[in-house]
Amino acid sequence: MWLAGRGLDVWGLDVSAVAVGRARELAGRHGVGDRCRFDVVDLDDGLPQGPLVDVLLCHMFRDARLDRAMVERLAPDGLLAMVVLSEVDVGPGPFRARPGELAAAFAGLDLIAEGEGQGEAWLLARA
């Protein structure tokens, strides 16, 4: 909603039909439904085809198989913003990034900022 409220066209993807339905309702209530599209997508099947994007936001989903597709989806000077579960300060888990994993995975981008701690890792980088 925040991005759509600032004039960006938003395409949200989630595996949960309930989450997608709630996002559509929320966009409508905030008057940005015309700038938003939400689809039920299982990213385990890969990133769906689509246009280049100025901002790619990945929240609490980590699958290294998508790294290349996410980089290739960024428009020139596009931003990748990502926060995922991390092993840092909490230990290993099936969906947790290893220490330094995000920075290494996206080393080909211009790193703006990154951090790890308390079970989360985040990164902001520009194509």
Residue at 99 is within a domain: yes
- What confidence score (pLDDT) does residue 94 get? 84
DSSP code for 9: -
- The answer to whether residues 57 and 34 touch, using CB atoms and an 8 Å cutoff, is no
Q: What's the domain range around 100?
A: 52-127
Q: Are residues 92 and 36 in the same domain?
A: no
Residue at 56 is within a domain: yes
Average pLDDT, integer, range 49-65: 95
Q: Is the pLDDT of residue 50 over 90?
A: yes
For 38-86, give the secondary structure using H, E and C: EEECCHHHCCCCCCCEEEEEEECCCCHHHHHHHHHHEEEEEEEEEEEEE
**How large a percentage of the chain has pLDDT more than 90?**
98
Average pLDDT, integer, range 61-69: 95
Q: Are residues 59 and 117 in the same domain?
A: yes
Q: Is the pLDDT of residue 55 over 90?
A: yes
Residue at 119 is within a domain: yes
DSSP code for 97: B
Task: Give me the phi and psi of 61, to 5 degrees please.
Answer: -140, 125
Residue at 47 is within a domain: no
- What confidence score (pLDDT) does residue 79 get? 98
Q: Is the dihedral of CA 75, 103, 1, 26 positive or negative?
A: positive
Q: Are residues 35 and 67 in the same domain?
A: no
Q: Is the dihedral of CA 74, 4, 95, 102 positive or negative?
A: positive
pLDDT band at residue 61 using 50, 70 and 90 as cut-offs:
very high
For the domain that residue 56 is a member of, what is the CATH number? 3.40.50.150
Q: Are residues 36 and 66 in the same domain?
A: no
Query: 65: how many CB neighbours lie within 10 A of its CB?
Result: 10
3-state secondary structure of 99: coil
- What confidence score (pLDDT) does residue 103 get? 96
Q: Are residues 36 and 64 in the same domain?
A: no
Q: Are residues 32 and 88 in the same domain?
A: no
Q: Are residues 26 and 5 in the same domain?
A: yes
Q: Is the pLDDT of residue 20 over 90?
A: yes
- What confidence score (pLDDT) does residue 28 get? 97
Average pLDDT, integer, range 40-54: 96
Q: Are residues 99 and 123 in the same domain?
A: yes
Count of domains forming the chain: 2
